[in-house]
Amino acid sequence: MLFFNYQTAIYSKSTLRNYKSLLANFINHFGNIEIIAITTDEVLAFLNKITEGTKQSTKRLRYSLLSAFFNFFKNSVGPQFQNPCDNPILRKLFRHGKPIQWQILEKDVVDEMIFRTQNLRNRLMLELMARGGMRIGEVLKIMPQDLNDRKIIIRDPKSGRDQEIVFVPLKLAARLKGYVQNNGIENDQLIFPISYPAARMIVKKAGDLVGIDLCPHDLRRHAATYASRSGTPLEIVSKVILRHSNLATTQLYLGKVSDLESMRWIDTLHG
């Protein structure tokens, strides 16, 4: 299909999988009906069918993908075609849910938590998330062969790319290299050979040390918010630290700026 070939050239593997699934459902539902004859009511029935029991974010994603498909067709046949997704009722039903306000961890709290974690393995895992912005699943998959000075290569990342690169502070890179050498970990062995539930428990216990309810992704968000509030350009936070393909996704991580912090930045900028 021409549309799918076009998407292959510009989107990640994960987005293409979503498109492939959507188009398979679309063909199965509408059969041989001409696209130009499909109505808004029929689109609504289709979307309700394929999004039943899913989260609002999933509903919004599938609506957006379908709308993009119809827009591609519109660009092909001309402006006389009306996108059946371009309807205020559909936009309201499949809009984004209310953004979640994540807890923002202050640097001194994170530093204390890491300092009070005595087990070196656990401390390194916490630092990779809080300093490098890594996901817990990425931390658990790294091997010595993925380490290159201050860079960590992430193979088969969530984005669908072939690989991504994480940059870590110099001292953290040195401690990680020393840990590998001191424990005789081979190039093709996991540096942290533990299960996902065990890793989550490590993070939870670290949070208990400083009296907070902590999950792994809180540390990844801290890496972003601390960098942003330290003056790091948004593009660096998004593309380098979080490795997001969309700046809008990064902005969800950064949380709400308080009035006090807003005034502090204004004073810093203008004296």
Q: Where are the domains of the chain?
A: 2-93, 107-270
- Rounded mean pLDDT, 192-209: 95
- The domain made up of 107-270 has a fold known as hpI Integrase; Chain A (1.10.443)
**pLDDT tens digit sequence for 60-111:** 889 988 988 888 888 777 778 889 998 888 888 887 665 555 667 889 999 9
C-alpha closest to that of 191 among 254, 127, 248, 131: 127
For 2-93, CATH gives 1.10.150
The rounded mean pLDDT for the chain is 85
Which is nearest to 206 in space by CA: 139, 111, 135? 111
Residue 146 has pLDDT above 80, yes or no: yes
pTM for the full predicted model:
0.63
Q: Cα–Cα–Cα angle for 179, 183, 189, nearest 5°?
A: 95
Return the DSSP state at 148.
Answer: E
| 150 vs 128: CA distance, rounded Å | 12
Read off the pLDDT band of 119 (50, 70, 90).
Answer: very high
Token readout for 42 is 């029929």
